Amino acid sequence: MKKILVGLASLAFIFTLVACKEETDTPIDGETPVENLTNFELVKKIADELVIPNSDEIRKNIYLPKSTKEEVMILWTTSNPKAITPEGYVTRSITADQAVTLTATLSYGATVERRTFDVNVKQIPSTTEAQVQESIDDFVLYENNYVDRDILILPRTSDINGVYISWETSDENIIDLNGNVHRTNQEQSVTLTGKFTKENVTLEKKIDVTVGSTADDEPEYITENDSRILNKIYVKNTEEILKACVIDDLKPGDAVILEDGTYNEITVYITDSGTQEHPIFFFAKNPGKAIITGESRVEVVGDYVTVANLYFKDGYPTTDSGVVSLNGNYCRFTNNHIYQFEFSGYDYKWVSLTGTHHSIDRNTFDGKSTGGSLLTVWRNDLSSQYHHIFKNVFKNFKDAGGANGYETMRIGTSTYSQTDSHVLIEDNLFEKVSGEIEIISIKSGRTIVRGNTFKECVGLVTCRHGKNSLIENNVFLCGGVVDTGGIRMYDSGHIIRNNYIENANSSSNTRAGIVVHSGVNEAGTTATMNLQWIPFNILIQNNTIVDSRQSFLFCGKYNYPAKDVFLEGNLIVSKEWAAIRFDKLPTNLVLSNNHMYAKAYLDTTGAVKGVEVPKGANFSTEILSLTPNASGIKLHESLGAKNLKVLTSSNAGASWLE
């Protein structure tokens, strides 16, 4: 099977023939290969393979595929849309189970096939104890309870029934209660105990976790001396790439190494797989000296493939998925530069991720002005992704003037937002990325954004959908630019901890240093997936907000105010403006050990007036003096955020850029 396609425009037809001839599915147990089936046989085969897991006990949203890789389209209808919609959204009853018939209509050309599935949506348990137990039975902490990164989210709320969770650990030197994972060169074991509570009922779940060692961590940079390389294939033009990669199969440990030069109008399509010990490599021998131009892109479908050291400029991608698309598993895109790689008037991403466990590190993304995210994590079903996005630079993304679809980074979609992605975004620099209000648009559960620096970005890190995300240790240097801000959120269980936000400048009801929105539903209930779910059980802890027009903004726009919001140990210093704006009062806003030095406690532009200063605010109009540290940020020695670093292009982005 030929696994890589490299195309010049003049050779596109030849390459298409090669791909069609060689890319066939190997038959298993005498089955006919897919490409040899008639339309009727293909549609029938796919229809017969459709299944809805746990169909007798539906408790959460279910995955109803809309199409297949063979481009068979699937249209779903439902006998009871109040229980299950055609999109798979589930609403449970408090009185009885609900029987639903789902019908899938599959079509390919003129061929149509139908299948029906009888499913049962379980009643919400009638007792609180049963609801808590159901949440425990549904709960999964992490994949195989094996953690191979330095941070783990300890969720505050369950995915179902609105149950709150607190935690204990058997050894804080391995995993502490902030979720920090202290790895060594050996595997370690620790037991975490979750206390699941609703109303007056608390039940426990013990989870034995294995922490992976640091011994298998990858090297920072890819060179031709990498010990994992078994076979080096040097190429200096597109024809040699064709010979090396299309005529000859790539095997684990093979490295296609690009000599210095310009590679114009190429499409690299990789479907072979390496292994953890010996990935397949595609990289420039000298970082930045292999230049990809023209109508070009790289797509990886295989597993364990590393793409490195390339310079994309003076060109544009050929599809909506962008310049680079990683669709396999355990792939890496590292030490590359994408610069103004676009075609005016067309909307497409720069990097798209499907599959799982990809690393996107030490790249520079610079100068995008068209629609489409610089980096998109696609979630095509209910599974988790576990991608790691770190030490990159994202800069100079043009302001779209309020248009949607200009996020710098998007994690997931509304459809699958009530499941967890486990994507980790850390130690990146975002500078003047101003496409739209959502710099990072989080539409999934348990996404981590930590240790990043944001400079003069018109927008905010936004928990748009999904539960239990962690936003910590970030630095927002807004520079007084209009409509800048820090963090905003919907849905439940989020932890906003140890962030620094300076000179955010907005008077709107959607932007501030930290925004806790209102929502369209009551706490613990469901709503249409793309609407604004109420924030509840939110922890906002040890943040510092300095000289910002709106430091805290609560409950703008929607009907149901946020519930159970805990402000602990935050520091606000604002000589010119008030500390807090309320458009609605949250239900149970708890303030503990905060310190607020501002012109006033309450911003009178908010809809709510006359709020008394709570004891836990420690409010004063005598402005605290803060001195910038060596990084230029104003941290207090004992109040608010601590131990933060400000990233620059010297400690993030492609290593070879000046």
* pLDDT tops 60 at residue 19: no
Inter-residue long-range contacts of 229-236, CB under 8 Å, 24+ positions, other chains counted: 229/253, 229/254, 229/255, 229/278, 229/281, 230/254, 230/278, 231/255, 232/257, 233/257, 234/259, 234/285, 235/259, 236/261
pLDDT at 628 over 70: yes
Q: Give the pLDDT of residue 60.
A: 87
Name the average pLDDT for the chain: 91
**Span 413-421, mean pLDDT?**
81
Number of C-alpha atoms within 13 angstroms, CB side, residue 156? Answer: 22
Q: Is 13 part of any domain?
A: no
Is residue 529 in some structural domain? yes
Query: Of the residues 121, 155, 178, which one is the last residue of a structural domain?
Result: 121
CA dist 411 and 169 (Å) reads: 30
Domain boundary among 72, 102, 121: 121
The pLDDT score that the predictor gives to residue 418 is 80
Q: What is the pLDDT of residue 365?
A: 98
Residue 435 lies in a domain: yes
* Four-residue CA torsion sign, 30, 35, 41, 45: positive
Q: Which domain holds residue 611?
A: 362-620
Q: What is the mean pLDDT of residues 360-389?
A: 93
User: Domain for residue 126, yes or no?
Assistant: no
State the sign of the Cα–Cα–Cα–Cα dihedral 599, 601, 607, 608: negative
Please name which of 389, 279, 373, 269 lies closest in space to residue 329, comparing C-alpha atoms. 279
Q: Average of pLDDT values for 286-290? A: 98
593 assigned to some structural domain: yes
Last residue within a domain, chosen from 105, 121, 137: 121
Q: Is residue 256 part of a domain?
A: no
Whether 288 contacts 258, CB under 8 Å: no
299 part of a folded domain: no
**Using an 8 Å Cβ cutoff, are 549 and 502 in contact?**
no
Overall domain count for the chain: 2
With a cut of 70, say whether residue 3 has pLDDT above it.
no
Cα Rg of the chain (Å, integer): 26
SS3 category, 42: helix
In a domain, 169, yes or no: no
What's the CATH number where 394 sits? 2.160.20.10
The pTM of this model reads 0.92
- Measured between its terminal Cα atoms, the distance across the chain in Å is 41
Q: In the prediction, which pLDDT does 17 show?
A: 24
- Going by pLDDT thresholds of 50, 70 and 90, the confidence category of residue 345 is confident
The type of residue at 653 is G
pLDDT the model gives residue 28: 41
Model pLDDT, residue 318: 78
Whether residue 346 has pLDDT greater than 50: yes
- What average pLDDT does this structure show over 435-456? 96
Q: Note whether 3 and 272 are within 8 A (CB).
A: yes
The token pair at 424 is 């980790």
